[in-house]
């Protein structure tokens, strides 16, 4: 929120949740919204509860009373993070970050005809918007996995690993159960991330993202945990209980420091066969996943920025060698997947391919292919083969221009790179400059289509064939582009997401 907004205290009674204090926010006479920031949706994941699945709030939990309303006028805390291009200020970081921000239209909700996110606080004339804490339970706090943690979880009757996914699921369940108290519709939830296995979702917007590859198994994750223990000076010969007690006693800032500089630096999803089914990629490939989406009526918006690699080549990039690039990919992916990727690009020579400037450029481009370009196309191909239809269930896009306001956070020389599409969908939310009048004219059709998507209405996207992508061109015009790298993506998907040893991975749990 910027200084352009007028904020006034607002007391609200959402029924059984108790009384809460938020803010009424207006800007230049536009539709007012009520804002509530930092509402917990789970109990604090600290102390003995670090590295465990999140716990639901008690059924009788109250945020405040009539005489002492709970004060929620700030925002969610941010999970402690290693240094990055957007490292949060230490004053807003906390392990106790399982919280939500909620924006609610002020006054009676009229029908939403457009401008899904035209108010920069992120609320339409009908939409109740809920956002989870930024970077909630990522890195070591959300995805550390090991045999020690698995044994403890088994004895407690809990799942192990993927805490950063379980907390997102719990946030969705809280929203589904409680949002009616704020005027929201629990039967029409749009998720702005990767879809979870939950029937409450109707729309999914995966901005500049893909499904990736099958995650690492527990033995893969154990190597990372052992490296972390060594860096923290925790004796690996201790009992399981002693090692976990030592890990939970480490201050969070030391955990963050230890992660910086680790060889296996990326804490990622575990193929646990509980939250993440080991056979998920097989089900995507054989059409079962698409069939379930169709039965549930789930629709997908998914696309790309033209220069995703510019951002990615700045993300813990490797030194200038084949082995460094291999090790950097191994931090994210299993050894089997990593070897397939490096063989695909470098062959047996292990030399830098001629069309890359250096190993940093190589890493940025292939990482962008994995995270977005190639695997997104392979995923779409599987969805279409499974019965979903372009322009009806799946809405593909490509952006070759960015908003002028993006310069506030991302240098202009980085071009239309990863994350530059977010303010388009949220109509400038989070950017002081917002959209210019010309940009609003250019994007009017996109805004109306996205509003229809969020509302669950029919969407006039303009695409008819699997290779069609709605495109915002560099000159500001919009057209439908026939995907020129479709075959490359489908081929790469088949390389990394077919024929993996799923049964063997399952046996290692």
Other Cβ atoms less than 10 A from the Cβ of 349: the count is 8
Q: What does the pLDDT look like over 377-426, one tens digit per residue?
A: 999 999 999 999 999 999 999 999 999 999 999 999 999 999 999 999 98
Q: What is the CATH number of domain 268-507?
A: 3.40.50.1820
The pLDDT of residue 498: 82
d(CA 259, CA 265): 6
**Pick from 82, 177, 81, 185: which is nearest to 137 by CA?**
81
Quickly list H helices, 162-287: 163-178, 218-232, 240-249, 252-259, 280-285
Domain ranges of the chain: 6-137+158-186, 268-507
Q: What is the pLDDT of residue 508?
A: 45
Enclosing H/E stretch for 496: helix 486-497
Q: What is the pLDDT of residue 115?
A: 30
Distance, in Å, from the CA atom of 405 to the CA atom of 434, rounded to the nearest integer, reads: 6
Residues of the chain with pLDDT under 70: 1-4, 28-31, 84-86, 107-129, 132-136, 192-200, 499-509
Residues in the chain: 509
Which uninterrupted H or E stretch holds 366? Answer: helix 359-368
The whole-number pLDDT of residue 455 equals 86
pLDDT value of position 81: 83
User: Cα dihedral sign for 403, 404, 405, 408?
Assistant: positive
As a whole number of angstroms, the distance between CA 123 and CA 111 comes to 13
How far, in Å, CA of 236 to CA of 221, rounded?
15
Structure tokens at 150: 């698995």
Which residues, 6 or more positions from 154, have their beta carbon under 8 angstroms from its beta carbon? 160
Query: Within 13 Å and on the Cβ side, how many CA atoms surround 500?
Result: 30
Q: What is the pLDDT of residue 210?
A: 87
């Amino acid at each position: 929120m910027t200084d352009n907004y007028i904020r006034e205290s607002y007391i609200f009674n959402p029924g059984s949740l108790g009384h809460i204090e938020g803010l009424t926010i207006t800007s230049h006479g536009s539709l007012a919204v009520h804002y509530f920031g930092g509402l917990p949706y789970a109990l604090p994941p600290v102390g003995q509860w670090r590295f465990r699945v999140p716990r639901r709030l008690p059924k009788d939990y109250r945020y405040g009373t009539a005489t002492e309303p709970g004060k929620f006028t700030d925002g969610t805390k941010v999970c402690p993070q290693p240094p990055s291009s957007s490292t949060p200020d230490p004053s807003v970081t906390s392990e106790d970050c399982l919280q939500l921000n909620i924006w609610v239209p002020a006054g009676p909700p009229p029908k939403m005809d457009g401008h899904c996110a035209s108010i920069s606080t992120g609320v339409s004339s009908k939409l109740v918007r809920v956002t989870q804490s930024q970077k909630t339970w990522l890195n070591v706090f959300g995805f550390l996995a090991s045999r020690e943690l698995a044994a403890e979880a088994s004895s407690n009757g809990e799942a192990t690993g993927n805490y950063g996914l379980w907390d997102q699921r719990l946030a969705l369940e809280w929203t589904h159960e409680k949002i009616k108290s704020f005027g929201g519709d629990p039967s029409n939830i749009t998720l702005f991330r990767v879809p979870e296995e939950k029937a409450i979702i109707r729309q999914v917007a995966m901005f500049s993202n893909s499904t990736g590859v099958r995650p690492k198994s527990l033995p893969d994750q154990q190597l990372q945990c052992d490296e972390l223990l060594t860096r923290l000076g925790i004796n690996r010969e201790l009992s399981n209980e002693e090692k976990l007690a030592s890990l939970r006693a480490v201050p969070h800032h030391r955990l963050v420091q230890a992660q910086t500089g680790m060889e296996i630096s990326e804490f990622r999803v575990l193929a646990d066969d509980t939250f993440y089914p080991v056979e998920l990629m097989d089900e995507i490939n054989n059409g079962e996943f698409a069939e379930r989406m169709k039965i549930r009526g789930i629709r997908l918006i998914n696309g790309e920025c033209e220069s995703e690699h510019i951002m990615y080549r700045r993300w813990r990039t490797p030194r200038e060698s084949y082995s460094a690039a291999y090790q950097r990919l191994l931090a994210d992916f299993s050894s089997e997947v990593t070897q397939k990727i490096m063989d695909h690009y470098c062959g047996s020579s292990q030399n830098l391919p001629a069309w890359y400037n250096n190993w940093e450029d190589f890493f940025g481009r292939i990482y962008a292919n994995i995270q977005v370009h190639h695997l997104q196309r392979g995923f779409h191909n599987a969805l279409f083969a499974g019965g979903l239809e372009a322009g009806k269930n799946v809405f593909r896009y490509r952006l070759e221009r960015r908003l002028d306001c993006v310069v506030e956070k991302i240098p202009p020389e980085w071009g239309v790179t990863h994350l530059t599409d977010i303010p388009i969908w949220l109509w400038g939310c989070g950017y002081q400059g917002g959209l210019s009048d010309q940009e609003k004219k250019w994007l009017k059709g996109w805004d109306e289509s996205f509003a229809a998507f969020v509302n669950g209405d029919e969407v006039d996207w303009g695409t008819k064939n699997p290779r069609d992508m709605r495109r915002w061109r560099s000159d500001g015009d919009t057209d439908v582009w026939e995907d020129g790298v479709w075959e490359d993506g489908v081929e790469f998907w088949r390389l990394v997401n077919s024929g993996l040893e799923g049964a063997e991975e399952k046996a290692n749990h």
